[in-house]
Amino acid sequence: MTPAAHGELESVRWLLGSEPSSLDWIYSYDYPPNSVLANVCESLLRIDADFAVRPNLAEKFTNPDPLTWVYTLRSDVTFHDGSPMTAQDVVFSLNRHRDKALGSYWSTAFAKVKDVTASGPHEVTVKLSSPDALFNQMMAVVPGVVESKSYVTSKGKGYGSPDGSVNCTGPYRIGAWTKGQSITLTRADNYWDPARKAKVKNFELVILSDPTTQLNALTTGEVDGVYAPPVQGRQKLLSSGVGNLHFGPTTSTINLIVNDFTGPLKDPRIRRALWLALDREGYIKAALGGRAEPSRAVASRLTWGGAPEVYERAWNELPEAKQNVEAAKKLVAEAGAPAKPIVFAISSSPIFAPLANEVRAAGERIGLKVELKTIAPDQYGALFGGAEARKGIDLFYTSWYADVADALQIYQNWESKSFANYGGYSNPEYDRIYAEALAQSDPVKRAELVVQLQRITVDDMVWLPIVNGPNTVFMNKRISGAPATNAYLYYPWAAQIGGTGA
């Protein structure tokens, strides 16, 4: 956490890099919508700033056998419209992820769920078809969100839109959503947990995507803070004297997602060649201010909870993420350079330009043509939701984060049926190990299986891991209290912010 806040404030203005396409939680799978919903909607369990999983809307949970989870609900929780939260609301909310017609982005979390029932007035029981070591952890993030059944039903297709809004249980409610401009969160006076009541009455999320405009707004005091301020502007922020820049650990890493295993990236030697040709050290210095380290694999150190020694040993045995142009050229010569260019999609926001240019330059160094495809920031998130948006793309950028501190949640992405298996990677041995890991409740034994999955993803280069940098948050001198980790994507970060007396 950053230094705790000491007083309440009437209002705070905070930057949001792009506008959510929807605030329907089953489609909330990216930074902008999660940043908003973390303060408005709540889950059965909760992720704290240190990524520990604790009770929340469910005051207790038990696991009487490997296939059963029982959640005892709080009896004092109301939605923002004043209606009480019931077991039926919980059943409805969880089952929306299981409705294939709705196409929840979080369906993978429910792959092993057999049944969800209200087993009492304040109790919900989940039955699994086979053991799932991730399921209960995922009840602390978006898959565990609880919303009013009657409200969602009444809004129909308009639910989660600027007109339909949402009606959850969090410390803030949606006060106003002016499309293309801002989303204002208003303190929920009927919030059930006095200890976590919001300190700011009105919290306005100002939508600005241009880095220069963001920096000007921050340095002039037009807005009070932001997560992930433009890297190129860090020194300007620090020298301005208007606030403080905080760094914290993160479950996020920067990667290139292989979207098509049938095109120019079909041969794993070509994928590895491009990975080897990248000048990560130069990229880290030029674009990230030196605050990052090359990634040997997709999962960051913050996901090593439960068995760090197993992960550390396996990490050290992975190939170094170090530029080796000659080795890359040799791989291209062996495989044969593809005739078609590699289409690399990246957001049109200027902050992504250094990586786009480096990937293109890396291709040129070893005889591969990389064609850049730029996408508007407010449309980039669609790449993670549907195959149609990814059509014609071979590779695309992601700052991919784990939702919980368990690396298995990252490596589930390449199980054949996973929602996030964008390229359609299929490996029976991978699926077998994944199934075994998912059924393993012992964290050390699970980690020993997960590092086998990690090795396969590295050997096959299913994604190209680039770098792992810190989470960053900037706040001016009038506010403090935000978590410094990327737990803000699920943790009610805005409710912790308040005045400093400055």
Q: Got the DSSP string for 439-456?
A: T--SHHHHHHHHHHHHHH
CA–centroid distance for 102 within its chain: 21
> Domain residues of the chain, as ranges?
252-468
Q: Tell whether the model's pLDDT for residue 305 goes beyond 90.
A: no
Round to whole Å and give the CA distance between 435 and 448.
13
Compute the average pLDDT of residues 342-357: 89
Separation in Å, CA 76 to CA 7, 169, 199, 492: 27, 11, 21, 19
User: How far is C-alpha 378 from the geometric centre of its chain's CA atoms?
Assistant: 16
What confidence tens digit (pLDDT) does each residue in 371-424 have? Answer: 999 998 878 888 988 899 999 999 999 999 999 999 999 999 999 999 899 999
Distance of alpha carbon 205 from alpha carbon 31, whole angstroms: 13
Residue type, 87: A
485 pLDDT exceeds 90?
Answer: yes
Residue with tokens 């009657």: 150
Residue range 244-248: mean pLDDT, rounded: 93
Instruction: Give the tokens for residue 249.
Output: 């650990």
Helix H or strand E encompassing 217? helix 211-219
Dig out the tokens for 395 from the structure. Answer: 């590779």
Asked if residue 289 lies in contact with residue 234, where contact means CB atoms within 8 angstroms, the answer is: yes
Mean pLDDT of 441-463: 97
**Is residue 35 predicted with pLDDT exceeding 90?**
yes
pTM reported for the whole predicted model: 0.88
Give the closest residue to 287 by CA, choosing from 343, 224, 211, 216: 211
Residue-level pLDDT at 414: 97
**What mean pLDDT comes out for the span 9-14?**
98
Which pLDDT does position 321 carry in this prediction? 95
Cα separation of 117 and 111, whole Å?
Answer: 16
Cα separation of 94 and 147, whole Å? 9
Residue 211's closest CA among 354, 345, 344, 343? 354
pLDDT band at 234 (very low <50, low <70, confident <90, very high): confident
Would the pLDDT of 351 be above 80? no
* Residue 96 binned pLDDT confidence (cut-offs 50, 70, 90): very high
Q: How many CA atoms lie within 13 A of 237 on its CB side?
A: 29
- Alpha helices, H only, 366-411: 377-380, 408-411
What pLDDT is attached to residue 289?
83
- For 252-468, CATH gives 3.10.105.10
Give the number of C-alpha atoms closer than 13 A to the C-alpha of residue 119, restricted to the C-beta side.
13
CA dihedral 454, 458, 464, 469 (to 10 degrees): 50
Average pLDDT of the chain is: 95
| Confidence label for 501 from pLDDT (cuts 50, 70 and 90) | confident
For 295, residues 6+ apart whose C-beta sits below 8 A from its C-beta are: 253, 254, 255, 321, 465, 466, 467, 468
Please report the pLDDT score of residue 348 as a whole number. Answer: 83
pLDDT (mean) for 24-28 = 95
Positive or negative torsion for Cα 391, 396, 398, 403: positive
Mean pLDDT of the 448-475 span: 96
Helices (H), 242-348: 268-277, 280-287, 308-317, 325-335
DSSP state of 262: S
| Confidence label for 75 from pLDDT (cuts 50, 70 and 90) | very high
3-state secondary structure of 413: helix
pLDDT at 462: 97
Please provide the distance, in angstroms rounded to a whole number, between the alpha carbons at the two ends of the chain: 19
User: Are 93 and 168 a contacting pair, CB within 8 Å?
Assistant: no
Least confident of 17-31, 141-155, 358-372: 17-31
Largest CA distance in the chain: 67
Identify whether the C-beta of residue 415 lies closer than 8 Å to the C-beta of residue 430.
yes
Angle between helices 280-287 and 353-365 (to 10 degrees): 160
* 115-150 b/e (C-beta count within 10 Å ≥ 16 → b): ebebeeebbbbbebeebbbbbbbbbbbbbbbbbbbe
What are the contacts of 55-59 at 24+ separation with CB within 8 A? 56/140, 57/85, 57/90, 57/146, 57/169, 58/124, 58/139
Is it the case that residue 117 has pLDDT exceeding 80?
A: yes
